[in-house]
Structure 1
Amino acid sequence: MSASDYPPSFEPADVLFASPHTYLRRLVVTTSEVEVVITGRVPSYYLKQMAQEAIRGCLGPRRLRNEVQVCSA
């Protein structure tokens, strides 16, 4: 399922919670009228990018701030 498959009312946190990637389901998503912020830790830059791209489809007019940290285990 791609981000564009979600209905417009789908919240960014719901998209990550539905992810098959365990690490993405652990990230914290904070939303406001103007911004969506992703925080937390993942073991690779690939997963950081995956989180960002998963949420991009339900941003609407809001901007995205990806503050996910990459921490090798």
Structure 2
Amino acid sequence: MPLRAVVYTSERSEGVTGEQAFRLAADAERFNRLAGVTGVLLSDGQRFLQYFEGPEDGVSAVYARVQAS
């Protein structure tokens, strides 16, 4: 099965608390797992770098969710 991978950077929106960001990351982790996607999320509290990989359909679903957020 071919894999697809995505890497991107982003910043926490003004007004989003650390606790809110943590809950968003936990929700994304559950979604990614269901989509069969694995990866890593790095953060310094304000900026994020995420790498994720998996089957084409799972990565497409996760990336669409990222773009919508």
TM-score bracket, shorter-length normalisation: 0.3 to 0.5
Higher relative contact order (CA 8 A, sep 6+): 2
Question: Could you tell me the TM-score, scaled by structure 2's length?
Answer: 0.43
Look at both structures and tell me which one has the larger radius of gyration over its CA atoms. Answer: 2
More helix by share: 2
- In the superposition, the TM-score normalised over structure 1's length comes to 0.41
